[in-house]
Amino acid sequence: MLTVKTIILKLDCLDTGILDQTIQAYTDGMNYVSTVVYALGKPKGSVALQKEVYPTLREAFSLKSQMACNVVRQVTGTYRTLQQQVKIKKSEWQEIEFTPSSMTCSFKRDFTINGDQIGITTLEGRKIFRYFRYPYMEKYLDNSWKFGASKLVKHRDGTYYFHLCCEKEADTKAITESSNFMGVDVGQNFLAVASTTDKKCKFFCGGEAKNLRNIYSNMRKRLQSKGTRSARRMLKHLSGRERRLMTDMNHRVSKEIVEFAVQNDVDVIGLEELTGIRDTTITHKKQRYTHHSWAFYELQTFVEYKAKDRGITTVYIDPAYTSQTCPRCKHISKNNRHRKSFVCECCGFALHADLIGARNIESRARTVRYNLEVQGCSQPPIRELSMDRVPSPGL
Ligand SMILES: [Zn+2]
């Protein structure tokens, strides 16, 4: 899969005279070609068009050879788009006028990058400019990415930016600021709730899961109250059977969750850290995990395995207050929740209460991921996939 990312380099130059002249000549060239194409009444193939206009672009507009080619290609492209608009009656055939605000540049022929310097071909040949090189750019400039057709852009205030187009062939999706995240909250009123960065959500009820848990829970209470030897044997048998049923359910639901992630182009799934061996002094530990924690842990593990097969990364986040935090202003309070609804007492943000957890997990996963990237880690630490660390169904 080809990943394309544009990073914006701010040029550090006071004397922009030669860039102004170059971008002006380039634009004048485009407007000349535009007049030619407009007169034809329809776009012409760029090879044929180039033969016709190339000598003028070179002599009258003093453009370098590669610039002349870029001018033709860019104008042809713009008129092709116009032609499509005309076909669907969204526009009329008209002469397009270009303003001196940008210039297309091909890597090596029009520009090169070396350290914090960029060489750009101008009317007076290749000129070197310094640009502000920030840490986040490093990974794109370490030779692992190829550079595609980029743009020199002039802002209204006269400053110049270089929109560098970076391309990379990747097996799994590269994690960037633009990645799509999905938070998965397990074990509230629903077996699982998923919410993505672009606010797509889904509830996974696991069919009869909840019912099943209640039936077994009641049966267990009755047997426990008897306390006889045969009752204890029955309890043991019950936990095995319950466990198998829950495992089947977890296989089904985890498949649905990952399927939902794939449909929504999710790159990273966020889950809560549920090992139960975290700092035990924290008082906000989620009570809902105590009894069926092994089942939820198992569900998460299946999600992680199945996601990995589809090229999706999983990160685990701190579960503290995920159900009481306002996704908008981050205010934490028990008073934010009123049964089925969540209304932030601070900013008034309102949402279905069952969605809050997933929304907060999604947002924390993004933060965790971002922090790892800042530290230079490309992969999150792998969680130990051992079922022994969580309590078995309590008897
Ligand atoms: Zn709020």
Q: 198 pLDDT exceeds 70?
A: yes
Whole-number average pLDDT of the chain? 81
- Taking each helix axis from N to C end, the angle separating 229-263 and 209-226, rounded to the nearest 10 degrees, works out to 160
CA–centroid distance, residue 319 to ligand 1 (Å):
18
Mean pLDDT within 162-184: 76
pLDDT of residue 16: 85
Tell me which of 280 and 308 has the higher pLDDT: 308
pLDDT (0 to 100) of residue 290: 43
Quote the pLDDT of residue 379: 53
Question: How far is ligand 1, taken at its centre, from the CA of residue 346, in Å?
Answer: 5
Among 106-115, 155-164, 166-175, 276-285, where is mean pLDDT lowest? Answer: 276-285
Distance 336 CA to ligand 1 centre (A): 9
Higher pLDDT, 91 or 130: 130
The pLDDT of residue 209 is 60
Angstrom distance (rounded) from CA 50 to CA 350: 59
CATH code for residues 181-206+252-389: 3.30.420
Centre of ligand 1 to C-alpha 345, Å, is: 7
What are the E-state strand segments in the chain?
Answer: 2-10, 102-105, 111-114, 117-122, 125-130, 146-147, 150-154, 160-169, 181-186, 192-196, 201-204, 268-272, 313-317, 337-338, 341-343, 350-352
Q: Where in the chain is the domain with CATH 3.30.420?
A: 181-206+252-389
Instruction: Say yes or no to pLDDT of 202 above 90.
Output: yes
- Return the higher-pLDDT residue of 389 and 170: 170
> What is the CA(329)–ligand 1 centre distance, in A?
4
Whether 393 has a pLDDT exceeding 60, the answer reads: no
Question: Is residue 30 over pLDDT 50?
Answer: yes
Mean pLDDT of 217-223: 70
Nearest to 187, CA basis, from 278, 288, 261: 288
**For residue 385, is pLDDT > 60?**
no
